Chain A
Amino acid sequence: MKKQMITIDGNEAAAMVAHKVNEVIAIYPITPSSAMGEWADQWSADGKPNIWGAVPSVVEMQSEGGAAGAVHGALQTGALTTTFTASQGLLLMIPNMYKIAGELTATVFHIAARSIAAQGLSIFGDHSDVMATRQTGFALLASNNVQEVHDFALIASAATLKARVPFLHFFDGFRTSHEVNKIEPLDDAVLRAMMNDELIRQHRARGLTPDAPVMRGTAQNPDVYFQARESVNLFYQACPAIVQQTMDEFAQLTGRQYRLYEYEGHPEAERVIVIMGSGAETVAETAVHLSQPGERVGVLKVRLYRPFDVASFVTALPSTTKAIAVLDRTKEPGSSGEPLYLDVVSAMVEKWSGSLPKIIGGRYGLSSKEFTPGMVKAIYDELAKDKPKNHFTIGINDDLTHTSLPWDKTFSIEPDGTVRAVFYGLGSDGTVGANKNSIKIIGEETDNHAQGYFVYDSKKSGAVTVSHLRFGKNPIRAPYLIESANFVGVHQLSFLERYDVARLAAPGAVLLLNSPFGPDEVWDTLPGSLQEAIIEKKLKFYVVDGYEVAKETGMGRRINTIMQVCFFAISGVLPTDEAIAAIKHAIEKSYGKRGQAVVKQNFAAVDAALAHLHQVNVPEKVTSTWERPSIVPAIAPEFVQSVTARIIEGLGDDLPVSALPNDGTYPTGTTQWEKRNIATEIPVWDPEICIQCGKCALVCPHQVIRLKVYDNALLANAPESFKSTPARFKEWKEMAYTLQVSPEDCTGCSLCVDVCPVKNKQQPKFKAINMNPVDGLRAAERENWNFFKTLPEIDRTQIPLHQIKYNQLLTPLFEFSGACEGCGETPYLGLLTRLFGDRTVVANATGCSSIYGGNLPTTPWTQNGDGRGPAWSNSLFEDNAEFGLGMRVALDQRLDAATHLLREHRDLIGTDLVEDILFADQIEEADINAQRARIAQLKIRLQELLAMGNDQLPNYQLPITNLLSMADIFVKKSVWIVGGDGWAYDIGYGGLDHVLASGRNVNVLVLDTEVYSNTGGQMSKATPRGAVAKFAAAGKPMPKKDLAMLAVSYGNIYVARVAFGAKDTQTVNAFLEAEAYDGPSLIIAYSHCIAHGYDLKFGLQQQNMAVSSGYWPLFRFNPDLAVEGKNPFQLDSQAPKTSLEEYIYREGRYRILQQSNPEAAARLLEQAKGDVQARWNSYAKLANGNK
């Protein structure tokens, strides 16, 4: 019988088994493991049972530490229990892992192994996290590919029950967790056969029960702890044999035989690489390739890393081995070698008979760095040397300490029979979804094997995706990107300006371009270098007007199925008719439950696609006269030119070690150099009717709308199309005013148009700012923008900060971020930096804001003309409040130290100046400006004193030098602790509570999107009742936590709940009051979000509805008012006047529940209405002084 095969990714492969063989699953989202928890939650929500017929209980916790605690508890009570995590999440589980292992408890943690944040965070794969747990007592079992992930998930689950040693089953984050591959699924019968009922009963019997009470978890003393610790040895000694035995049983059932340490390659190899994880696949394929012509090379794949079975390991090596290279996908700075290397060395020393082979260790693949056959060959070549380099690195150019091995980048072992296709697309055009679909079609509808891997952007808006697809008759074991493609699909014309799209095309490959230009016109629209590549590589060039087809069939910007049809038609992997039938079948499968309207629309697109596909007759000569523009302009700073630009260009892999900062410190203000040009429409200002209110600038999520008031004379040099109008400000009646848009940084969200209060009287469809196609505007507006930047900034001291009309004339020190189009968070950061950016330190919790704010290559946090601006740092997800508090304490401490020095040298410096500095009242901008002037004076004075030298001024050099180094601290510094609700309500809540209770002068800004937005919309305690989120597929049953009122209960914390889209003046006042309050303050900011499920151009309307329905009452609680004898609680919004339904059912997160479970939606709606009313009543009472 033909084996049933499925095409899935590593996370699903692990989760499928884990959900079937467990009873309790405790989860918490973290990339790249989140999908395992999401699958488990969804299956349980759908009522899918485990192999014993019960639906596993899936519980989301507040952190990975919490998940580990819940796992520990469930295990101690006898349930089969699992969890999924990665990276910092795994580190947070470590304390419980010791406990679980120490108590000899059977469990499996499934880990998508990921880098640990060090000099920078990385979401990508390596073994740093797993290696940090090797001392916990968990067994560590490595899977190298998607099939193994599926199989080892079961083998680990079966083995742990017998061994009573807990297992950490890990595979490479992204490379394996996200690779789609064709695998043979495990039948339930196999699962039942492997999961021994008697062992499960024993596991359950060990659980705590008052019917047979015991205690576990005693405190032990010097007399017995040591002995007790050694009491587990027999279990660890037995464990490897148990795992092998389990693997053998598994082989009996499935035919797939695995070994603890598995050798592959030449039977009499002399040079052997030892490795674990997906890289082992690359080494194995390369070893086989090299050994065919007779090279004596091989690979020893380590599957069971802990307990490390020395005897089995040594036995698995060919006796002919003369040189070994051990590869670690981690770095242990300062060690004598990385962990696997050290284990191998000790194993060989202890057990190898005969002369010891040469053993070298090397690091590779950190943070999913590519690991290719060329690199493997370089290592084998190195092993052949008399004195091979030890402690080497491969895959990078270490020009600093010269650890790296060179490798041949052109070396390829890809078999001829494997078709390799690369697609460049946008996230929004559906390219990745279509390719995942294609992989499934090829994998499941043909005899071919298939593999898909997808590379995503570091930006959330206008994100570029690159899909790598392989398929062929043989299994595909190539966990690295395609370097030589038979097919290159370019799904966006604009990519021709940004990327060398033919770089990956093999000679004779197909190049398919989505372009509005037909087969006769398209040639002349290509850049010269691309024309040259097409001619030289003899590429078969096709063109399709995908957007025309999409327009005809109502698909909008989604060209996915259209391009998919073209790919199948050209590649010939299936006869075209069969391919189209398969695509339609896939569409029905994917979209059928979403309604026939969607299915029919996609069918129409499929049917219309081929009529628009044309092969282009390639001319013999290059005719184009244009080239891709340089990545950044020549005026950009040197670092941006030499480093940032390379990363933007996609060539960051080529940067040598010396090019990168060694302590993770990067310059700010770099997004200005990365012109992404992602908007198809940009706002155009109508100066005739504009009332200069500033609202458009306030709401702009990417801070691309700027306002200036300036002297009319400056217009003399203005570009022809530069717009200007008399300023409508009472102070500056004689001056000019301009609203300028940065055309190349705008994302086209149109929030500015929505908020504009002015309508054109002749044609009310037009406002004072209107969206227009960017084509035809870009060049002129670029010139206008550049001129606008030369106009002088307004004097901050002249600005009444509480008025939006005025404060929006200030330059935001946060601009052009990578946030989503229409983001609801970033306008708050724009406002924050306009008001206080030049004297602010930001502690940023990990999450969306740390990603659009801190993900390389560029950062939106920037500086003003004086070089001042926010100083920003991200520590972790869970510790952000504490991190910010530390900053405050340090700044206060420095102020104390500097004050002490200043006082001590008062006479020397000058009494008047010192007293003016010490008693400066830094409340208004003018005060701060005056203080800055005094500090400048102080520095001059200190320099003068230093210039006198030790002779004239003995014993003062040191204190004066110290004071000079600290002088800037006398200008008031503002600490802002910024993060999302996942941090503030969940993982960081304990710390936040503590920091707020500390009484210190910190400002906390919670950007409340009501879900974990950055990891894809998982439920947090901020999620409202009745909303669907991941981990709340059936709608959140419990109400949102009222974080604001928890803080109010302290009495001495400034608290505000704001929504700039509903009442912008209240938002501004809250920011000003919070910053002015000499104590802790907390602002909870409604942030509309892509995870709410609607087009964010309606974000402001939704904010308004949230407030008018009473869902999000606006208030400020100012303890300073209480001191004045006033009611500190001010309600800033009115009693609910629109219904909750009107608000919530405009959003997907609520509508999805209505459509999937109307009864639950109706019930939760009623409860949510009760929540709203109860909250309003209690707030109103407070506002009335509890009357």
Chain B
Amino acid sequence: MDLSTTYLGLKLKNPLVPSSSPLMRTLGNLRQMEDAGAAAVVLHSLFEEQVRLESHTLNEYLTHGTESYAEALSYFPDAPEYQTGPEEYLEHIRRAKESLDIPVIASLNGVSSGWWMQFARDIEQAGADALELNIYYVPTDVEMSSQDVEQLYLDALSVVKTAVTIPVTMKLSPYFSAMGHMAKRLADGGANGLVLFNRFYQPDLDLEELEVVPNLKLSSSVELRLPLRWIAILYGRVPLDLALTTGVHTVMDVLKGVAAGASITMLASELLANGIPRLMVLRSGIESWLIDHEYASLSQLQGSMSQINCAEPAAFERANYMRVLSSFTPPFLRYATAYGLAG
């Protein structure tokens, strides 16, 4: 069974691509992923804030308290060089490229564009096959308009595209007023693909300690629906390769993603929860399903259930929402009806 697919111009042997997670930090894991059937890997992100923070904190370590007191004009020896920037990350790319035969996609995470040109160049020079820009941005500033937010993405893309020749894909959040138009603008701006969607970790509240606490939870298949919908809508409408991320756990999740139009489906939570060998299970499951359902290849499935190809395009729109509501009775209403309290 031909499971191959094309993403960002890269010919991939199947649609299974492990994506950014702590697993990507060691070369051993990457090798294991390749052995288990991964078609490509998206490395963990190089965080722009982290790079800046490293530089500033190192400077703070080395200068804090210095030149103040005659007996202790400094507190640390000054090494000939430091890895404050992306050096460690770049080395990781280089070593991954040396060790793997599958494509290596690097990931750059941040909000501003000032630093990205150099980072992107460095990443390309380190051998990455493509670059994913992960714009993790929560617009808390009430003075910031939706146009401003969109421009932020476009500017970042523009900077990176002028710096590198490798394909660039944009990882987006689902919070755009006009997702379709945004996708088109990114395509116009030179993006080669979209990764839908970024998963913002929603903090929790601890009422005992009166603290806002970060709450890192793994995804579930339920979360597949949102990216699935937008991939289905965008497929064939924008000249971009689409990657589905968030909620991919089962064979059916992968198949649905491809059917909606995704070139690849990305896995992070599933591998964290059930281990890297899970890739083998998924791969053979996909193959079995396609054989059982008499598909000639995976590409035959791709986009078949997208909005432009499916039998019920309206189902992806508001009508779908209305129908869901009308066919679903909330439990409290069922209770009320039974006792003759309502309707």
CB-CB contacts of B188-232 with A at 8 A, as 1s and 0s? Answer: 000000000000000000000111000000000000000000000
Which residues of chain A come closer than 8 Å to B70, judged between CB atoms? Answer: 31-32, 123, 174, 178, 456
Contact, CB under 8 Å: A1016 / B84: no
Taken together as a complex, chains A and B put the C-alpha atoms of A435 and B285 apart, in Å, by 69
Q: Which residues in window 66-83 of B have CB below 8 A to A?
A: 66-83
Which residues of chain A come closer than 8 Å to B115, judged between CB atoms? Answer: 596
Which residues of chain A come closer than 8 Å to B118, judged between CB atoms? Answer: 596
Taken together as a complex, chains A and B put the C-alpha atoms of A1029 and B74 apart, in Å, by 11
CB-CB contacts of B46-58 with A at 8 A, as 1s and 0s? Answer: 0000011011111
Contact, CB under 8 Å: A1152 / B58: yes
Which residues of chain A come closer than 8 Å to B71, judged between CB atoms? Answer: 31-32, 34, 123, 851, 1014-1016
Which residues of chain A come closer than 8 Å to B79, judged between CB atoms? Answer: 45-46, 593, 1033, 1152, 1155-1157
Taken together as a complex, chains A and B put the C-alpha atoms of A1091 and B83 apart, in Å, by 21
Contact among B58, B81, B211 with A1151 in the assembled complex (CB-CB below 8 Å) = B58
Contact, CB under 8 Å: A1155 / B58: yes
Q: Which residues in window 31-48 of A have CB below 8 A to B?
A: 31-32, 34-35, 38, 41-42, 45-46
Which residues of chain A come closer than 8 Å to B64, judged between CB atoms? Answer: 1090, 1093, 1095, 1148
Contact, CB under 8 Å: B75 / A594: no
Quick check: is A432 within 8 A (CB to CB) of the other chain? Answer: yes
Contact, CB under 8 Å: B77 / A1033: yes
Contact among A46, A427, A459, A1013 with B67 in the assembled complex (CB-CB below 8 Å) = A427
Residue of A whose beta carbon sits closest to that of B68:
A427
Taken together as a complex, chains A and B put the C-alpha atoms of A594 and B62 apart, in Å, by 9
Contact, CB under 8 Å: A1016 / B74: yes
Quick check: is B85 within 8 A (CB to CB) of the other chain? Answer: yes
Quick check: is A465 within 8 A (CB to CB) of the other chain? Answer: yes
Residue of A whose beta carbon sits closest to that of B55:
A595
Taken together as a complex, chains A and B put the C-alpha atoms of A152 and B72 apart, in Å, by 26
Residue of B whose beta carbon sits closest to that of A432:
B67
Quick check: is A597 within 8 A (CB to CB) of the other chain? Answer: yes
Quick check: is B63 within 8 A (CB to CB) of the other chain? Answer: yes
Quick check: is A1069 within 8 A (CB to CB) of the other chain? Answer: no
| Least Cβ–Cβ distance between B18 and chain A, in angstroms | 24
Contact, CB under 8 Å: A1016 / B82: no
Which residues of chain A come closer than 8 Å to B76, judged between CB atoms? Answer: 1017, 1028-1030, 1091, 1093, 1148-1149, 1152
Contact, CB under 8 Å: B66 / A433: yes
Which residues of chain A come closer than 8 Å to B88, judged between CB atoms? Answer: 1158
Quick check: is B59 within 8 A (CB to CB) of the other chain? Answer: yes
Taken together as a complex, chains A and B put the C-alpha atoms of A426 and B68 apart, in Å, by 7
Quick check: is A770 within 8 A (CB to CB) of the other chain? Answer: no
Quick check: is A513 within 8 A (CB to CB) of the other chain? Answer: no
Contact among A38, A41, A1151 with B61 in the assembled complex (CB-CB below 8 Å) = A1151
CB-CB contacts of B281-296 with A at 8 A, as 1s and 0s? Answer: 0000000000000000
Contact, CB under 8 Å: B68 / A465: yes
Residue of B whose beta carbon sits closest to that of A1030:
B77
Quick check: is B65 within 8 A (CB to CB) of the other chain? Answer: yes
Which of A31, A32, A456, A1013: most chain B Cβ within 10 A?
A456
Residue of A whose beta carbon sits closest to that of B52:
A597
Contact among A34, A457, A1094, A1152 with B68 in the assembled complex (CB-CB below 8 Å) = A457
Q: How large is the interface on B (under 10, 10 to 19, 20 to 34, 35 or more residues)?
A: 35 or more
Quick check: is A759 within 8 A (CB to CB) of the other chain? Answer: yes
Q: How many residues of A contact B (CB 8 A)?
A: 64
Which residues of chain B come closer than 8 Å to A595, judged between CB atoms? Answer: 51-52, 54-56, 58-59, 82, 84-85
Taken together as a complex, chains A and B put the C-alpha atoms of A697 and B274 apart, in Å, by 50
Contact, CB under 8 Å: A1155 / B77: no
Contact, CB under 8 Å: A463 / B54: no
Residue of A whose beta carbon sits closest to that of B82:
A1155
Which residues of chain B come closer than 8 Å to A123, judged between CB atoms? Answer: 70-71
Which residues of chain A come closer than 8 Å to B52, judged between CB atoms? Answer: 595, 597
Contact, CB under 8 Å: B210 / A427: no
Residue of A whose beta carbon sits closest to that of B118:
A596
Contact, CB under 8 Å: B82 / A594: yes
Quick check: is A460 within 8 A (CB to CB) of the other chain? Answer: yes
Quick check: is A873 within 8 A (CB to CB) of the other chain? Answer: no
Which of B57, B58, B67: most chain A Cβ within 10 A?
B67
Which residues of chain B come closer than 8 Å to A1152, judged between CB atoms? Answer: 58, 61-62, 76, 79, 82
Residue of B whose beta carbon sits closest to that of A847:
B71
Contact, CB under 8 Å: B69 / A41: no
Q: Which residues in window 166-189 of A have CB below 8 A to B?
A: 174, 178
Taken together as a complex, chains A and B put the C-alpha atoms of A761 and B207 apart, in Å, by 10
| Least Cβ–Cβ distance between B42 and chain A, in angstroms | 23
Taken together as a complex, chains A and B put the C-alpha atoms of A145 and B74 apart, in Å, by 23
Contact, CB under 8 Å: B51 / A456: no
| Least Cβ–Cβ distance between A25 and chain B, in angstroms | 15
Given contacts A597-B52, A1029-B76, contact A1151 B69 (CB under 8 A): no
Quick check: is A764 within 8 A (CB to CB) of the other chain? Answer: yes
Taken together as a complex, chains A and B put the C-alpha atoms of A1014 and B209 apart, in Å, by 38
Which residues of chain A come closer than 8 Å to B72, judged between CB atoms? Answer: 460, 1013-1017, 1091
Contact, CB under 8 Å: A1155 / B84: yes
Contact, CB under 8 Å: B68 / A463: yes
Which residues of chain A come closer than 8 Å to B69, judged between CB atoms? Answer: 427, 456-457, 459-460, 463
Which residues of chain A come closer than 8 Å to B74, judged between CB atoms? Answer: 1016-1017
Which residues of chain A come closer than 8 Å to B56, judged between CB atoms? Answer: 595, 597-598, 601
Which residues of chain A come closer than 8 Å to B75, judged between CB atoms? Answer: 1016-1017, 1030, 1090-1091, 1093
Residue of B whose beta carbon sits closest to that of A455:
B70
| Least Cβ–Cβ distance between B83 and chain A, in angstroms | 5
Given contacts A595-B85, A1156-B82, contact A45 B77 (CB under 8 A): yes
Which residues of chain A come closer than 8 Å to B61, judged between CB atoms? Answer: 1093-1094, 1148-1149, 1151-1152
| Least Cβ–Cβ distance between A667 and chain B, in angstroms | 24
Which of A174, A593, A594, A1149: most chain B Cβ within 10 A?
A594
| Least Cβ–Cβ distance between A769 and chain B, in angstroms | 16
Contact, CB under 8 Å: A1156 / B83: yes
Given contacts A430-B67, A1017-B76, contact A596 B57 (CB under 8 A): no
Which residues of chain A come closer than 8 Å to B211, judged between CB atoms? Answer: 764
Contact among A41, A174, A596, A1094 with B77 in the assembled complex (CB-CB below 8 Å) = A41
Q: Which residues in window 407-435 of A have CB below 8 A to B?
A: 426-428, 430-433
CB-CB contacts of A1010-1036 with B at 8 A, as 1s and 0s? Answer: 000111110000000000111001000
| Least Cβ–Cβ distance between B184 and chain A, in angstroms | 34
| Least Cβ–Cβ distance between A27 and chain B, in angstroms | 13
Which residues of chain A come closer than 8 Å to B73, judged between CB atoms? Answer: 35, 1016
Given contacts A1093-B76, A1158-B83, contact A594 B65 (CB under 8 A): no
Residue of B whose beta carbon sits closest to that of A601:
B56
Taken together as a complex, chains A and B put the C-alpha atoms of A426 and B54 apart, in Å, by 26
Which residues of chain B come closer than 8 Å to A764, judged between CB atoms? Answer: 210-211
Which of A820, A1030, A1152: most chain B Cβ within 10 A?
A1152
| Least Cβ–Cβ distance between B86 and chain A, in angstroms | 10
Contact, CB under 8 Å: A593 / B66: no
Contact among A454, A596, A1028, A1094 with B85 in the assembled complex (CB-CB below 8 Å) = A596
Which residues of chain B come closer than 8 Å to A1030, judged between CB atoms? Answer: 75-77
Which of B77, B78, B82: most chain A Cβ within 10 A?
B77
Which residues of chain B come closer than 8 Å to A432, judged between CB atoms? Answer: 67-68
Taken together as a complex, chains A and B put the C-alpha atoms of A1093 and B81 apart, in Å, by 18
30 interchain pairs (CB within 8 A)? Answer: A42-B77, A42-B78, A46-B79, A46-B80, A178-B70, A426-B68, A427-B65, A427-B68, A428-B68, A432-B67, A433-B63, A433-B67, A456-B70, A593-B81, A595-B54, A595-B82, A595-B85, A759-B210, A1015-B71, A1016-B71, A1016-B74, A1028-B76, A1029-B76, A1033-B79, A1093-B61, A1148-B57, A1148-B64, A1152-B79, A1154-B83, A1158-B83
User: Can you add 12 more A-B contacts, CB < 8 Å, to A430-B63, A601-B56?
Assistant: A45-B77, A427-B66, A454-B67, A465-B67, A594-B59, A595-B59, A1090-B65, A1090-B75, A1095-B64, A1148-B57, A1152-B58, A1155-B79
Rank and list the top 4 A-B pairs by shortest CB-CB distance, nearest first: A427-B68, A595-B55, A1148-B61, A595-B84
